[in-house]
Structure 1
């Protein structure tokens, strides 16, 4: 289980992690760390820790005792790094427009079904909207700093992207894919013969309607018992290994616009219609070069940002109390 985030992912964590961060504590409060005279309180550290622990718990997992110490260390380092970055942004004279803060706040509010639920969430986190806006401001300032000091100075040349493409052909291979829909009549694999016979009779009835020229999507909406029925049975494109074997074996032997015979899987009985077949291929350089350029630039940004943060920390007066 990968519980500890990388340095960069901690710096650019989602809003909901940042949201729980409290304001910089006064020197009189119990300290977790102090950076150039600015205190990170133990309360702030504990809030950040609890966010991570709660998130893991919601995924049905727990943090093992031997992983907790490493997690605490990473959280403290993340708080320190965000603080040195914010201080650097202020030294660089970075200012954030109030309009940008308001836009981010509006985007956050849209994540909630209503204004009341948004306010309730703030109340549970013991935050005011002004505190939320302050955290948005700090996050935008850090992003602007990274853009100013690092991202804007990085260039990935055409020669670099082409060399990467040519040197890593396996990364650009796309396996065969099929676009298909299906109609499913459910029956448990362990059902008795009578129950299976009843389900089989249902799918045979549907099969006759398909053979008679019935619209497959409409029949799927009417008869299919699978979750894709509301989409007319549409499963989109899939590769081998994404469906149960009897289903994929049938689908990958069919041509476009063909309809299968009845296929039995552990879920029940299926009729499959294939709409499109994409053979295995290697993506052309022209089709991937822009995305590849963005990816390579981001990798350089992360590498250089790590070095930049390391220098900021080296130049700062940092005291840790945990």
Structure 2
């Protein structure tokens, strides 16, 4: 088993490769440690393997990143533009009485064949001559959700009560803010493919821009910070010699 290294410093013991997520975390910590060493903030490390960082060393790295990574605060026009484009996301009190048929994606399943199966069922249920009780019958026959025994009925559901993918498709898109009936396309989520029927709708109320301005500013500031941190780590990775590990890297030189 190949050992992942950064500038010839091993990230793990030979023959014991961590999971991908853990390995990335080790790599980012080592990139930051080596950056701190180059700035004289931490002492040189002479061992062949990356050392485990103490709490005080982690605090030094955090302070270093705070100094080196700057992210602009959002301007008023940015906040206003975001509100105009995402106003429906701030609506409060909205809810849907809906039912669904879940075609679950499980290990080993042929996802393409499952999608075709789901599309055929959707086509049947959106046909103008389909009787009203057909959805409940098909839910009982096809759905992999426990609600299949209730005809797929989920009851009243708000944006925070369902998977983010469902919330985005059913609540957070302006063209889906009115109307009832079977959703015209499959809704994809981490669980699989959903056929959704909206039975009733509570519209909710949309707050003014002034009421959500601070919330939007915090959100945009967080997004700006995340982009700046991503670029910073990509620059560090681009300057490092990486072996047996792949990280997003940028070729631009790191500004000293």
- TM category (shorter chain) comes to 0.3 to 0.5
Q: Which has the larger radius of gyration?
A: 1
TM, length-normalised to structure 1: 0.35
**Structure with the higher helix share, 1 or 2:** 1
TM, length-normalised to structure 2: 0.43
Q: Which has the higher contact order (CA 8 A, sep 6+)?
A: 2
